[in-house]
């Protein structure tokens, strides 16, 4: 059956006290509304509709890659009003699933359970039982335990307020009936709004079967109204992701102290210490070990590589059995071949480091092509920027570069060459040559040291 999926994202979210739309606040590194759209778009035969209002231009621009039909809800008057504005775009057949841009952790598996029950004469409702149902619409059932209505908190009687089963707001209604129900909605209630929940009573009146589905946990249907709730859902998502990592064979020294803001894929026997952050798409091979306080973003790490504490790796590719850190920074465009070593306080950028090569400490290597088995001494830098353009440094295999060397690009160092410590290299160094480039040293006798005043 074809699916219209409506994501409601028009609310102001004043309790967020923010300069931008509530649904653009992030959970797990992704805007809440984008999380919902991603989940929704995975359903088969999905036609997406995005309802925007407050700062709708921001929301539309951030979600344009989903190719959703954007419908504006200026001066919003409730969830029923939102669906009424989408009604002209709904398909004649099929059903409409209503989701919310500030309910980011809804699972595709739950929505699939709902769609599996959908028929032209069935309305599927997602409900949950809560110990404290305050603030939620109550599910009213008859003597045969059939759902007959949803009553909002402000309109409920004392007996209805005692009901524990509540409405999550997520429902799947057949379009053949939904159009008529939406047209019949009124705003005769305490809020003066058009409630989408009123279609439940209409469905019961019209003999439409009303069936309920329940989520796996409360967090799936939890909405965000303020930053406290946003933080709670962030921790819930991180907990869920930590459980998945450990089930897949990773060791987390403290599952509560890891943040995944994107997608993290791990091989077997991966070890991750505390306070590590993973952004974008990160892939860790088998046997990778990551020390505390590391930050990895959009990178691929090969098997058996060790990343020591306080290291940042960004938009880079690391081979097998490499040794990185501590306090190293691999900037975008860095590629390390197998068995390469990047030591403490080393920064690389757009650098190809060959197999077995070592940049052990206190160095900057940028815009560089480096061969295999190169040894780079402490304090070495590539001077790749002339103030306007970047230039390339090329270092062949088996080169030894002494400490405190400056390689002024563009420059080439041929295979087997040696560069003496303290040199500033501005010209090509040939194969197996020894390059000295130092100012002449002058020694003065009986030099009087400065005296502290």
| CA diameter of the chain | 109
Closest CA to 17 of 222, 223, 225: 225
Ligand-binding annotation for 385, yes or no, is: yes
Ligand-binding annotation for 227, yes or no, is: no
Write down the residue that tokens 């059932």 correspond to.
Answer: 141
Ligand-binding annotation for 22, yes or no, is: yes
CA–CA separation, 245 and 237 (whole Å): 12
- CA distances to 67, 86, 92 from 41, in Å: 10, 18, 20
Ligand-binding annotation for 2, yes or no, is: no
Using an 8 Å Cβ cutoff, are 399 and 413 in contact? Answer: yes
- 14's CB contacts (< 8 A; 6+ apart) are none
Task: Write the secondary structure of 329-354 as one string of H (helix), E (strand) and C (coil).
Answer: EECCCCEECCCCEEEECCEEEEEEEC
Angle of helix 198-205 relative to helix 175-184, nearest 10 degrees, comes to 120
Helix (H, G, I), strand (E, B) or coil at 56: helix
Ligand-binding annotation for 152, yes or no, is: yes
Write down the residue that tokens 């390469």 correspond to.
Answer: 340
Ligand-binding annotation for 136, yes or no, is: no
Q: Report the sign of the C-alpha dihedral through residues 182, 183, 186, 191, in that order.
A: positive
CA–CA separation, 51 and 10 (whole Å): 6
Write down the residue that tokens 């005043």 correspond to.
Answer: 453
Ligand-binding annotation for 449, yes or no, is: no
Ligand-binding annotation for 29, yes or no, is: no
DSSP state of 114: H
| Active site annotation includes 54 | no
DSSP state of 446: T
- Alpha carbon of residue 342 to chain centroid: 27
Ligand-binding annotation for 219, yes or no, is: no
Ligand-binding annotation for 334, yes or no, is: no
Ligand-binding annotation for 304, yes or no, is: no
Ligand-binding annotation for 73, yes or no, is: yes
- CA distances to 61, 139, 210 from 153, in Å: 35, 11, 21
Helix (H, G, I), strand (E, B) or coil at 47: strand
Ligand-binding annotation for 394, yes or no, is: no
Ligand-binding annotation for 180, yes or no, is: no
User: Backbone phi, then psi, for 232, in 5-degree steps?
Assistant: -65, -40
Ligand-binding annotation for 403, yes or no, is: yes
Ligand-binding annotation for 105, yes or no, is: no
User: Backbone phi, then psi, for 348, in 5-degree steps?
Assistant: -125, 150
Using an 8 Å Cβ cutoff, are 393 and 367 in contact? Answer: yes
Ligand-binding annotation for 145, yes or no, is: no
Ligand-binding annotation for 102, yes or no, is: yes
Ligand-binding annotation for 192, yes or no, is: no
Ligand-binding annotation for 216, yes or no, is: no
Number of other CB atoms surrounding residue 45 within 10 Å: 12
Ligand-binding annotation for 10, yes or no, is: yes
Among residues 25, 49, 54, 361, the one annotated as catalytic is: 361
Residues marked active site are found at: 361
Known binding-site positions: 8-11, 22, 73, 78-79, 100-102, 137, 152, 167, 225, 331, 349, 364, 375, 378, 384-385, 403, 421, 438
Known binding-site positions for acetyl-CoA: 378, 384-385, 403, 421, 438
Known binding-site positions for UDP-N-acetyl-alpha-D-glucosamine: 8-11, 22, 73, 78-79, 100-102, 137, 152, 167, 225, 331, 349, 364, 375
Known binding-site positions for Mg(2+): 102, 225
């Amino acid at each position: 059956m074809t699916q219209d999926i409506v994501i409601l994202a028009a609310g102001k979210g004043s309790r967020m006290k923010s300069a931008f739309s509530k649904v653009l606040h992030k959970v797990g590194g992704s805007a809440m509304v984008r999380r919902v759209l991603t989940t929704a778009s995975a359903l088969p035969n999905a036609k997406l509709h995005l309802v925007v209002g407050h700062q709708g231009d921001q929301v539309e621009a951030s979600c344009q890659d989903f190719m959703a039909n954007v419908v504006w809800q200026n001066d919003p008057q409730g969830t029923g009003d939102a669906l009424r504005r989408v009604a002209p775009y709904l398909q004649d057949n099929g059903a409409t699933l209503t989701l919310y841009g500030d309910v980011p952790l809804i699972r595709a598996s739950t929505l699939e359970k709902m769609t599996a029950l959908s028929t032209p004469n069935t309305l599927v409702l997602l409900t949950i039982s809560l110990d404290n149902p305050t603030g939620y619409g109550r599910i009213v059932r008859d003597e045969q335990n059939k759902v007959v209505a949803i009553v909002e908190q402000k309109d409920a009687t004392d007996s209805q307020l005692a009901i524990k089963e509540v409405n999550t707001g997520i429902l799947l209604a057949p379009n053949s009936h939904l159009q008529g129900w939406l047209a019949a909605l009124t705003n005769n209630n305490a809020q003066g709004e058009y409630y989408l929940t009123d279609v439940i009573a209409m469905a019961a009146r019209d003999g439409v079967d009303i069936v309920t589905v329940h989520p796996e946990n409360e967090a799936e249907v939890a909405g965000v109204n303020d930053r406290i709730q946003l933080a709670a859902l962030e921790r819930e998502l991180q907990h869920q992701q930590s459980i998945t990592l450990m089930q897949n064979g990773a060791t987390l020294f403290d599952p509560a102290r890891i943040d995944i803001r994107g997608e993290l894929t791990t091989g077997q026997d991966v070890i991750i210490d505390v306070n590590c952050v993973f952004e974008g798409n990160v892939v860790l091979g088998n046997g990778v070990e990551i020390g505390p306080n590391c930050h990895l973003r959009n990178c691929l790490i090969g098997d058996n590589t060790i990343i020591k504490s306080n290291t940042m790796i960004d938009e880079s590719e690391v081979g097998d059995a490499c040794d990185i850190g501590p306090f190293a920074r691999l900037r975008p465009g860095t590629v390390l071949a197998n068995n390469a070593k990047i030591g403490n306080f080393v920064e690389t950028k757009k650098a190809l480091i060959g197999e077995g090569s070592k940049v052990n400490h206190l160095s900057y290597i940028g815009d560089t092509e480096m061969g295999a088995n190169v040894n780079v001494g402490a304090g070495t830098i590539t001077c790749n920027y002339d103030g306007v353009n970047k230039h390339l440094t090329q270092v062949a295999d088996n080169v030894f570069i002494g400490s405190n060397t400056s390689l002024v690009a563009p420059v080439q160092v041929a295979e087997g060459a040696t560069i003496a410590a303290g040199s500033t290299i501005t010209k090509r160094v040939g194969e197996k040559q020894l390059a000295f480039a130092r100012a002449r040293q002058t020694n003065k006798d009986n030099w009087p040291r400065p005296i502290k005043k």
